[in-house]
Amino acid sequence: MPFIMVWKNIYKSFIVWRMRHVGDRVFLLLLSVLVGLLAGLAAVVLKTLVHITNQWLLQFRIPSIVGGNLLILIYPAIGIFLTILFVRFVIKGQIGHGLPSVLLSLSRKGGRLPAKNMYSSLVASTLTVAFGGSVGLEAPIASTGSAIGSNVGRFFRLSTRDVKLLLGCGAAGAIAGIFKAPIAGVLFVIEVFMFDMTATSILPLMLAAISASTLANFMMGGGVQFAFTVVGSVGLSQIPYYIVLGIFCAAVSVYFLRITDKVEEWFSKRKNQMTRAILGSIGLGVMIFLFPPLFGEGYSFLTELLGGSEQMLFEHTVFESFSGNVWLVLLYLLLLIFMKAIATATTIGCGGVGGTFGPSLIIGGFSGYFICLLSNQLGLPEQSTANFALVGMAAVMSGVMHAPFMAIFLIAEITGGYALMVPLLVASSVTYLCISPFEKHSIYARKLAEHGDLLTHDKDSSAWQLMDMRKLIETNFVVLREGDKLRDLVEAIKYSRRNLFPVLTENDKFLGVIHMDDVRQIIFRPDLYDTTSVVDLMHDISEGDIVRISDPPGDVVNKFKVGNRYNLIVIDDDGYYLGFLSRANTFSAYRRFVSSLSEE
């Protein structure tokens, strides 16, 4: 018997045995542990490969006349072109940020992600970041973990709800594995993926995150991941300084969101991929040559900065002589904040693969260090630069990702305690409140929200936003033309089961509608059959009776509610008739959709 047949028989036998002997709830919990271990393993492999490659490449140096390492000009280009080749000839599709496609899968595709997503982001981001691409690994590994969870759930024939939950388990495990921070992993899924914290979801998410974190600790110890231990405490007198930090980080977050959009948009206008790659590689190489902390993720530079080693930022750079002047150090830090956002967007825009999770942490660290160093230099009471840098990391992440609780607990977990909890809460809350009027959605959800594809914690709003109104359009109405007479209407009534009759032009543009109730008295008068035009019988309608196919679903719902209408006429943007939406069918579909979104 061929191997494939043997495998299919074993698979079917296992599925049958599982359904008979293992309950759905228990099986889901077991799979959440499996998904967590796989996602954690992927995180360890990815982090270790990139770390080793970075260290190996940076040991080679070709000094230039003005200082700096000339090889850094070349490394990013190698990574970008290897990534493009991999995506074009192996993946044969787009990868991009990764997490927006996961969010789209949750809202529109029942949590289904292609099997190739289990390795595509993993390999592509390794090629990009290992050679110096200025992006993060967190989003790619979260995307990888999500794909692992989705495909494991589908392999074992779980329901759509459970497939979505395992997808979340994969993402939680990936974040927990990278940072050894299980609580942050769970909160990442709840805040970024918009999962509801229910009795059904919280235990699988926690099991996946703990499994991944335990595996990462076992395999890496205190190795390549970012970690720092807080020394000292924070007094209430320092709170105003952290409020100022929160406001500054809000401004930095808005800048980060806006500049990444503009740079990526600029690259997207260059239709030739080779042109984008060449321009981006040159620009990225120059930026990293001038500012080596932009090389790769940047955690090693940030760790040195937290330890008080500002000189590390200037070693082997054209600005090496700056390290002795505090004001020049401040200027250099400010330039790093601005340039990191541009370098990140350039890496992604020209063909690299990576995320913005890591860069937001790095920018936040630089921002916190900048504010503290500036405060100390102005003669104000001395503050801890390390504490400010750590709190800045959480604050900028809160602003960029709209995930304040995840950011707070991430920093608390990777610093080994909760000594900074009060300043973390203060700065992150201030940043989140300040940025909300300017940016209503996270960096991952903005474009999905623009297209009406975003699932949020507000299930009522999400249901209306995500429902496909096109599928609810009813077309079983007998159509009349503008030249028709009452006789044609009487004939139409014979064959119609509806009380509404749309009147169109000869080229299908909508003119009006005839209500059966309006013509009952004259349809039995044969003397009017050939003299009365259907146009004269049309019912008075207003803009409130008509919806366009491009109208947001929320506007459609408001027209049903405000006017207490039972049917709405649907036309396209050019005025062509498409059909009707009925109040009963629309609200029935809404109830079914809400039920499908429920976690319970």
| DSSP track, 63-80 | B-TTSSBGGGGTHHHHHH
Residue 323 pLDDT: 72
Residue 599 pLDDT: 46
Alpha carbon distance 536, 538 (integer Å): 6
pLDDT, tens digit only, all 600 positions of the chain: 566 777 677 777 777 777 777 778 888 999 999 999 999 999 999 888 888 888 888 888 887 766 777 888 899 999 999 999 998 888 877 765 578 788 777 777 778 898 899 999 889 999 999 999 999 999 899 999 999 999 999 988 888 888 989 999 999 999 999 998 999 999 999 888 877 667 778 999 999 999 999 999 888 765 545 666 676 667 778 899 999 999 999 999 999 999 999 998 999 888 888 999 999 999 999 999 989 889 988 888 888 888 777 777 777 777 777 777 888 889 999 999 999 999 999 999 998 998 889 999 999 999 999 999 999 999 898 888 889 999 999 999 999 998 899 999 999 888 876 788 899 999 999 999 999 888 877 777 666 655 555 555 555 555 555 566 778 888 889 999 988 998 998 888 888 888 899 999 988 899 999 988 888 888 888 888 888 898 889 988 888 888 888 777 767 777 877 767 788 899 988 889 999 988 888 777 777 766 665 544
Residue 464 pLDDT: 55
Which tokens is 227 given? 């970690």
Alpha carbon distance 231, 373 (integer Å): 18
Which domains can be identified in the chain, with CATH numbers? 3-220 (1.10.3080.10), 236-449 (1.10.3080.10), 463-597 (3.10.580.10)
The helix/strand/coil state of 499 is coil
DSSP structure string for 155-173: HTT--HHHHHHHHHHHHHH
Question: Which residues are within 8 A (CB) of 371 and not within 5 positions of it... i.e. 6 or more apart?
Answer: 241, 244, 245, 248, 388, 392
546-548 sheet: strands from edge to edge: 546-548, 567-571, 577-582
Residue 506 pLDDT: 87
Cβ atoms within 10 A of the Cβ of 1, count? Answer: 6
Phi-psi domain of 452 (left: phi exceeds 0; alpha: psi -120 through 50; beta: other):
left
SS3 percent helix, strand, coil of the chain, rounded to 5, is 65, 5, 30
Which tokens is 194 given? 């918009």
Alpha carbon distance 577, 478 (integer Å): 12
- CA neighbor of 486 nearest in space, from 535, 446, 453, 437: 535
Alpha carbon distance 285, 71 (integer Å): 9
Place of tokens 């629309």: 586
Residue 458 pLDDT: 52
Residue 133 pLDDT: 92
- CA neighbor of 577 nearest in space, from 540, 547, 534, 538: 547
Q: What is the longest distance spanned by two Cα atoms in the chain?
A: 103
Q: Are 348 and 264 within 8 A, CB to CB?
A: yes
Radius of gyration of the chain (CA): 29
Residue 233 pLDDT: 66
Place of tokens 């899924």: 189
Cβ atoms within 10 A of the Cβ of 111, count? Answer: 24
Residues in the chain: 600
Residue 506 DSSP symbol? T
